[in-house]
Homo-oligomer: A and B are copies of this chain.
Amino acid sequence: MTPLSARALPVANHQEPLQRSVPRADRVPNKKIIRELNIKVTTQRLMILDVVRNGPSHFTAQDVFEAVAARHPEIGFATVYRFLRTLSEHKYVTEVRMGGMPARYEWAGKRHHDHLTCASCSKIVEFENTEIERLQEKVAKQFGFSLTGHVLELYGICPECRAKENAADRR
């Protein structure tokens, strides 16, 4: 269906540009990252990490499995899920689940951001709004909570889809 819409990810460029000046984290070799987790460096982990870091963002476990399987057909689902979970637990990747759909992940070596998703074509736009972040902290504090995280996903219809809908209606 949705052909990994994340591939053509529009770059958020308003308000507070998401320009990332070659995050240093992306210089660190895969091997080192795995070692830091105090787990064994295996071929499959290296391959998975390569896909995770250098492939398209907002990928599913299935995406990773397929990408790795292309070069290393013996890979198993379990291995992908297990390692993604480890990476997620250690904040190397961010896991986002919405609707009943499979979880999507993204390498966390990038600046924090939230998502604006087109409900029609599933295109994802990343954005950051420090004002919203600030207000979230404020709300948590009001209730005596210490904020540990949040999920903010906006849904809407992108300009392109709106245009298409209008065209269809006119017909």
List A residues at the B interface (Cβ < 8 Å).
10, 12, 14-15, 97-100, 103, 116, 118-119, 125, 127, 129, 131-132, 135-136, 139-140, 142-159, 162
Contact = CB atoms under 8 A, between A and B. Distances in A.
A155 B162 contact: no
A79 B17 CA distance: 48
Contacts of A127: 139, 142-143
Given A132-B132, A145-B156, A147-B154, 20 more contacts: A12-B143, A15-B139, A100-B103, A118-B145, A119-B149, A127-B139, A129-B139, A132-B136, A135-B135, A136-B154, A140-B154, A144-B159, A145-B154, A145-B159, A146-B156, A146-B157, A147-B155, A149-B155, A150-B153, A151-B151
B152 A156 contact: no
- By DSSP majority rule, is chain A's interface helix, strand, loop, or mixed? mixed
Given A97-B99, A135-B135, A148-B119, A14 B154 contact: no
